[in-house]
Amino acid sequence: SVAQAIGGDKVNVHSIINSPDQDPHDYEATAKDKLAFSKAKIAIANGGGYDDWATKLIKSTSPQADFIDAVETSGLKKPGQKEF
């Protein structure tokens, strides 16, 4: 992952969706996912309408975590655009 490549041995990265066959639009977080988010110091979501469930879950279970929306951070999302 990009987070692992940047953080190296200084980070412990937990990817929620590991299968390319899983549609992130339809994903439902498990109790294990919620626990992982609740322990996060930094949480990263793709954003851009790709994984809205993750953004909502991060904000509700990890208010202490720094949150990064990758699309928003990239500057590629146009104003008013619902999905990247």
What CATH number did the domain enclosing 37 receive? 3.40.50.1980
Residue 84 lies in a domain: no
Contacts of 3 (CB under 8 A, 6+ apart): 11, 13, 42, 44
Asked if the model's pLDDT at residue 79 lies above 80, the reply is no
pLDDT at 81: 65
Q: Please give the residue range of the domain that contains residue 37.
A: 2-15+23-74
Geometric angle at alpha carbon 66, from 61 and 68, rounded to 5°: 100
Residue 47 lies in a domain: yes
Other residues' Cβ atoms within 10 Å of the Cβ of residue 79:
4
Domain count for the chain: 1
Residue 58 lies in a domain: yes
pLDDT tens-place string over residues 7-48 = 999 999 988 988 889 888 888 999 999 999 899 999 998 888
Residue 42 lies in a domain: yes
Other residues' Cβ atoms within 10 Å of the Cβ of residue 12:
11
| Stated pTM of the model | 0.75
As separate numbers, helices (DSSP H) first and strands (DSSP E) second, the chain gives: 4, 2
